[in-house]
Amino acid sequence: MKKVAIYTDGACKGNPGPGGWGVLLKMGKHEKELSGGEDDTTNNRMEMTAVIKGLSALIEPCEVELYSDSKYVLDGITKWVEGWKRNGWKTASKKPVRNSDLWHELIDVAGRHEIEWHWVKGHSGHPENERVDKLASDEAEKVGIEDGED
């Protein structure tokens, strides 16, 4: 299996509001940036979308080192999701799981790969995290301008 590092981030201008996501894929000397945005979203949805888009960009099963500054995404996929499945996609307080559409998509794309999940502190000078933060922020800004936010 090929080894790939994926760095992801999401951003939102307002929460909800215009949002963006950014991804950096690294394999050996090769790098690829991906980014996009939505006009009415939340920060958590953009964080999840970044991970989904990064994993979906891989055309074959890979060994993935995935880096995110989102505890929501990392805890969700590594700790909470099995309980949600057992509880019929309800939280411990019996409420529907938020963003279940994206959780289902993430489970599907993650299942194709062997993934090591890593948390990185946001805005702490981590070069790749700063890079994907800029991609996500730029997309959120662009979507906001297109929607007449500024």
The tokens describing 97, both together, are 């799981």
Q: Considering only CA atoms, give the Rg of the chain.
A: 15
Catalytic site residues? Answer: 9-10, 47, 69, 123, 133
Q: Is the peptide bond before 61 cis (omega within 30 degrees of 0)?
A: no
- With the CA atoms of 73, 77, 82 and 83 taken in that order, what torsion angle do they form, in degrees rounded to the nearest 10? -20
